Amino acid sequence: MYWKKRSHEQVKEYIFKALDQNLDYRGDRPILGIPGTYLDTTEFYPDAPFLKDAPFMSAMVRNPNHIGVHTLSEDSVLEVFEGTQKIEKELVKLVAEEIFNGDVDHQDGYVATGGTEANIQAMWIYRNYFRNKFGARLGEIGVVYSQDSHYSMPKGANILNLTNIILEVDSETREIKKESLEQKIKEATQDGIKYFIVIANLSTTMFGSVDDIDMLGDYFTKLNVQFKIHVDAAYGGFIYPFTNTTSRFTFQNPYMNSITADGHKMLQTPYGTGLFLIRKGYFDFVKTEEAQYIPGKDFTISGSRSGANAISMWMILQIHGSEGWKYKMETLCDKTERICKKLERMGVEYFRNPHLNIIAIKAKYMSKELANKYYLVADSYEFEPEWFKIVVMPHVKQGTIDAFLMDLDSELRGRK
C-alpha cells in the first residue's frame, strides 16, 4: 500500500481543475435539458470570498450530480460532470487497489449514502445474481450473518425479501460459533435455502470484533453450495488495513467479493460517504434498463447523489498519503491499547480486537451513571445492558480518558 501525500495547495488545484472540467451552470455552455442547477444563491452565494480557498465547499455550491457508477466504462455517465466523476473513479481505484490490494482495474464501486446502502447494494446484487444465473427463487436465498452484525442486514433482507440466518457468537470472544453455523445452515437447508449471501464483519459496531472470513469461505466451499461473501467494513475499512499488515480482507482473498467501507466513520468525511466496492462483472445484475434518460444507465440504489461526497473522501486520503493515515490510525490504536492496560490493572474485563479502537467493557464493572457521564454506548437500550463501549475516535483527549479511568477506579474501590 502506498500513495504519496499531496499538499493543501495541490489538492485544491486538482479539485478546482476537475470542477472546471465539469460544465458550469454559470458558464457559457447552453445547458437546457438537465433537471439540476447550482444551489440557491440567496443563501449560497457563489462569490463568497472564502470559496476560492475551499474546494469542498466550492464543489457543494457547484452541485455536480454523480448519479450512476463511473468505473463501468470509459465514457462518463453524464458528460456534464465528467471532471469530478473522474475523481470518484480515481477514489474507487485507490481504495480498491491500494487499501484492499485489488488487481489493477479489476474492481467497480461508487460512493453510496452510507454503510446501510452499500450493504443493501451488495445483497441486491447477489440476490439478482443467484436468480439470473441459477434460477433461484426468492424463498431459496438466505442472508447469513452473526448476531453482532449491523441492523442494515435485517433491514436489507426485509426490503429484498430474503431469509435471515443469524449466527450466534461466543459471549466472550464474539467469534461466530462453528456449532451455530453448522446448525443454522442445516436448518436453513432443510427449509429450502440453497443460495447464501454471507456477511463477514470487518469490525462490528458494538465490539470491534472481526469475523473469520476464511472459516466462513471454507465452510461454504466444503458444503458445495452457491455463496458469495460481502464484507461489512463500514466501521473498520479505513483503520484495520492500516493497523494490520496481514489482513485477510483484501481482494487477493478470493472469498472477498465485495466490501463496504464508510468514509463518514473512521475517515472523518461528511455524512453521505459509504463506499461500496465489488469485483468487476457483478454490477450488471442490478442494471436498471428503465433508466433511459441516464446515458450510462443506473446501477445503484440511490440515484442522484452529490459529487462533493466523493471529492471529500479523495481529498482526505490525498492530504495524508498512505503513510500519514497509517500513522494516524496506529496512534489511535496505541491510545486504545493504553486504556486496555489500565483496565487490566484494575481487574476490569473487556473485549477488544488489537487492530481496532473499540473497547467493549463488561457492564457489571460500572454504574449506568458513570457510563452516561462519558456517553459510553450500551449494547442494548431495550434490555439490561451487558456491555458499554468506548470508541477512541480522533476527538478523544487523553485528559478525558484519564478522568474516566479515575472515576471508574474510585467507583470500583468504593464497592470493595
Ligand X SMILES: *Cc1c(COP(=O)(O)O)cnc(C)c1O
Looking at 17-25, 93-101, 109-117, 129-137, which segment touches ligand X (CB under 6 A)? 109-117
Pairing between β-strand 107-112 and β-strand 163-167 as defined by DSSP bridges: unpaired
Query: How many helices (H) does the chain have, and how many strands (E)?
Result: 11, 11
Closest distance between ligand X and the C-beta of residue 19, in Å?
A: 26
x/- letters, 175..204, toward ligand X (CB under 6 A)? -----------------------------x
Q: Smallest distance from the beta carbon of 274 to ligand X, in angstroms?
A: 5
Q: Each residue of 239-254: b (16+ CB within 10 Å) or e?
A: bbbbbbeebbbbbebe
Q: Between the CA of residue 89 and those of 61, 348, 378, what are the distances in Å?
A: 21, 46, 38
Binding-site member from 90, 140, 211, 262 for ligand X (CB under 6 A): 262
Instruction: Please name the residues in contact with 28: beta carbons below 8 A apart, sequence gap of 6 or more.
Output: none
Exposure class string for 77-93: b at 16+ Cβ within 10 A, else e: bbebbbbbbebbbbbbb
Tell me if 351 contacts ligand X by CB under 6 A: no
The DSSP secondary structure of 76-87, one letter per residue, reads: -SSGGGHHHHHH
Q: Is 205 in the site for ligand X (CB under 6 A)?
A: yes
Q: Which is nearer to ligand X, 78 or 329 (CB)?
A: 329
CA 135 to chain centre: 30
Give min distance, CB of 202 to ligand X, in A.
8
Beta carbon nearer to ligand X, 114 or 385:
114
How many other CB atoms are there within 10 angstroms of residue 222's CB atom? 8
In eight-state DSSP terms, residue 393 is: -
Shortest CB 260 distance to ligand X, Å: 7
Q: Which of 116, 163, 244, 257 touches ligand X by CB under 6 A?
A: 116
Q: Does 235 bind ligand X (CB under 6 A)?
A: yes
Kindly state the smallest distance separating residue 259's Cβ from ligand X, in Å: 11
Closest CB 165 distance from ligand X, rounded Å: 18
- The residue (of 295 and 394) whose beta carbon lies closer to ligand X is 394
Contact window for ligand X (CB under 6 A) among 92-100, 102-110, 115-123, 339-347: 115-123
In the complex, what is the shortest distance from the CB of residue 207 to ligand X, in angstroms, rounded to a whole number? Answer: 10
Give the three-class secondary structure for 18.
helix
And the C-alpha cell for 381? 437500550
Do 37 and 341 meet the contact criterion of CB atoms below 8 Å apart?
Answer: no
CB of 377 to ligand X, least distance (A): 11
Please, which residue, 205 or 244, has the CB nearer to ligand X?
205
Tell me how far the alpha carbon of residue 52 is from its chain's centroid: 31
Task: Work out which of 55, 64, 102, 114 binds ligand X, going by CB under 6 A.
Answer: 114
Is 58 or 152 the residue whose CB approaches ligand X more closely? 152
CA distance 91 to 114: 16
Q: 72, 232, 275, 277: which one contacts ligand X (CB under 6 A)?
A: 232
Taking the least distance from each CB to ligand X, the nearer of 274 and 296 is 274
Q: Residue 173: which of 349, 393, 382 has the closest Cα? A: 349
Q: Is 148 in the site for ligand X (CB under 6 A)?
A: no
Task: Kindly list the residues in this chain that would bind ligand X in the complex (CB under 6 A).
Answer: 114-116, 119, 150, 152, 204-205, 232, 234-235, 262, 265, 274
